[in-house]
Amino acid sequence: MITEVRAPGKLYIAGEYAVVETGYPAVLIAVDRYITVRVSPAASDTGHITTDQNAGSRLEWYRQGSDMLIEPDRDQFSFVLAAVRVVEEAAVALGVELQVYDLDITSELDDDSGRKFGLGSSAAVTVATVRALCTHYQLGLDRMAQLKLALLASIGVQRSGSGGDVAASMFGGWIAYTSFDRDWAREQREQRPLMDLVAADWPGLSVRRVVPPDHLRLLVGWTGSPASTSRLVDDVQSNKSGDAGWTYAGFLDGSRSCVEAFVAALDHEDTDGIMAAIRRNRELLHGLGEHTGTTIETPQLRRLIETAEAHGGAAKTSGAGGGDCGIVLISEDARIDDLLAVWERADIRVLNLHEHRPDGED
């Protein structure tokens, strides 16, 4: 049997940086660029994992009992291997016999030269691998259980992530997300059986769908300058003591209020409230960058935002900033072509992205 699963990339709409703290909210959208994982039975007792990312890579593996033995020094496969191991641990716990198989990974989340757009490739490949192997092994786990497996795989590799990108890739569409307690999850991982942990309520974790504004258009501009989310988040965490008149706690409170107002505006189709929340979130992120010495809004991102505002949109950085993408919510009636022409002259590339609408729930 051959199993093929694709997982979408994501964009943050609101709540960046604060969402790394337990229970703080963010809004994300899954977008129609994908990582696809294909699982097929191995032709021998040796399996292969291949990817077209990073100019193409390949590793071989074999099984010794229930252990997966691979060649060393394969950092580019760290998220894939973490996902494989957590799903196979779940399979063993559920009494499913492990197999040897090939994994083939293809990505649409980079440009033709391999530069990343900032659409969450690590999260998407983790989600696609978890979902593909859960389907391959016929584990019968619902989407929330699969999310928890993907989050456990992710925090095993990367300490600073909020998990919002994983949730967006897992659930699709627009979501309101609050982050789980990563320290609690790591501690519990050591103390209790995996499937007990998956069945438990996780402190802080929530995911719910929100309805996108059908009278507003989402535009995404890419600055052509990739950024390291983990480095930027670590910079903020290292310098969050603040100074006179500004506190990190104040930023967190402001972000929570802003995102909650944004979600309420989405729920009530309140255009003015939606636009005001985007602008307020930009102000909060600007203050965070200024007081922690972190470059969140680069000159190119500022150009993207200011030109969008001049054309009637509400705009901000998306994700950690420092490069990558900015997002704009703008009326369908606005002179969008004029804005895109300004972006083109400023070497800002509009990305032809749309919402990935979720398929049937399981």
- For 255-302, the pLDDT digits (tens) are 999 999 999 999 999 999 999 999 999 999 999 999 899 999 999 999
Q: Is the same domain home to 92 and 174?
A: yes
- The verdict on residue 48 lying in a domain is yes
* Model pLDDT, residue 1: 85
Q: Where among 159, 184, 209 does a domain terminate?
A: 209
How much is the pLDDT for 229?
A: 83
Looking at the structure, do residues 95 and 231 belong to the same domain, yes or no? no
pLDDT digits (tens, 9 = 90+) for 86-98: 999 999 999 999 9
CATH number of residue 175's parent domain? 3.30.230.10
Residue 358 counted as domain residue: no
Write the DSSP string, 284-347: HHHHHHHHHT---S-HHHHHHHHHHHHTT-EEEE-TT-SSSEEEEEEETTS-HHHHHHHHHHTT
Whether residue 360 is contained in a domain is answered as no
The answer to whether 179 touches 160, Cβ cutoff 8 Å, is no
Given pLDDT bands bounded at 50, 70 and 90, which one contains residue 99?
A: very high
Is the model's pLDDT at 17 over the cut of 80?
yes
Q: Does the pLDDT value for residue 203 go beyond 80?
A: yes
pLDDT computed for residue 245 by the predictor = 75
Is the pLDDT higher at 156 or at 71? Answer: 156
165 and 245 part of one domain: no
Query: What is the helix (H) or strand (E) element at residue 154, kind and residue range?
Result: helix 143-157
Query: Which pLDDT score, from 0 to 100, does residue 361 have?
Result: 53
203 plus 249 within the same structural domain: no
Within 13 Å of residue 105, how many CA atoms lie on the same side as its CB? 33
Domain contains 361? no
Please count the structural domains in the chain.
2
For position 111, what pLDDT does the model report?
67
Residue 169 and residue 275 in one domain: no
User: How does the average pLDDT of the chain come out, rounded?
Assistant: 92
| 135, part of any domain | yes
Asked which of 119-128, 223-232, 312-321 is least confident by mean pLDDT, the reply is 223-232
**Distance from C-alpha of 351 to C-alpha of 223, rounded to nearest angstrom:** 10
Considering the domain architecture, whether residues 31 and 149 belong to the same structural domain is answered as yes
Last residue of a domain, one of 176, 209, 242: 209
Regarding whether 283 and 309 lie in a shared domain, the answer is yes
In a domain, 186, yes or no: yes
Pairing of strands 46-51, 57-64: antiparallel
Helix (H) or strand (E) holding 350: strand 349-350
Does residue 107 lie within any of the structural domains? yes
Phi, psi dihedrals of residue 339, rounded to the nearest 5°: -65, -45
One domain, residues 266 and 201: no
Answer yes or no: do 88 and 61 share one domain.
yes
> Which tokens belong to 136?
């391959």
Task: Determine the distance from the C-alpha atom of residue 212 to the mean position of all C-alpha atoms in its chain, rounded to a whole number.
Answer: 18
DSSP-derived letter for residue 118 is S
Domain check: are 151 and 180 in the same one?
Answer: yes
- At which of 142, 177, 209 does a domain end? 209
Please tell me the predicted confidence (pLDDT) of residue 141: 98
Q: What does each C-alpha distance from 354 to 89, 173, 329, 349, 360 come to in angstroms? A: 35, 10, 13, 15, 19
Grade residue 76 by pLDDT with cuts at 50, 70 and 90: confident
| pLDDT beyond 70 at 112 | no
Residue 113 lies in a domain: yes
**In terms of pLDDT, which residue wins out, 227 or 244?**
227
Percent of all residues in the chain with a pLDDT value above 70, rounded to a whole number? 94
Nearest to 295 by CA among 221, 226, 235: 235
Asked whether residue 55 carries a pLDDT value surpassing 70, the answer given is: no
Q: Do 64 and 199 have their domain in common?
A: yes
Q: What is the b/e burial string over 330-349, where b = at least 16 CB atoms within 10 angstroms of the residue's CB? A: bbeebebeebbebbeeeebb
Helix or strand holding residue 266 (H, E) = helix 248-267
Task: State mean pLDDT over 29-34.
Answer: 96
Amino acid symbol at 248 = Y
Does residue 131 share a domain with residue 256?
Answer: no
* Full residue range of the structural domain in which residue 167 is found: 3-209
CA distance 318 to 327: 6
Q: Is the pLDDT of residue 168 over 80?
A: yes
Query: 143-157 and 78-93 helices cross at what angle (nearest 10)?
Result: 130
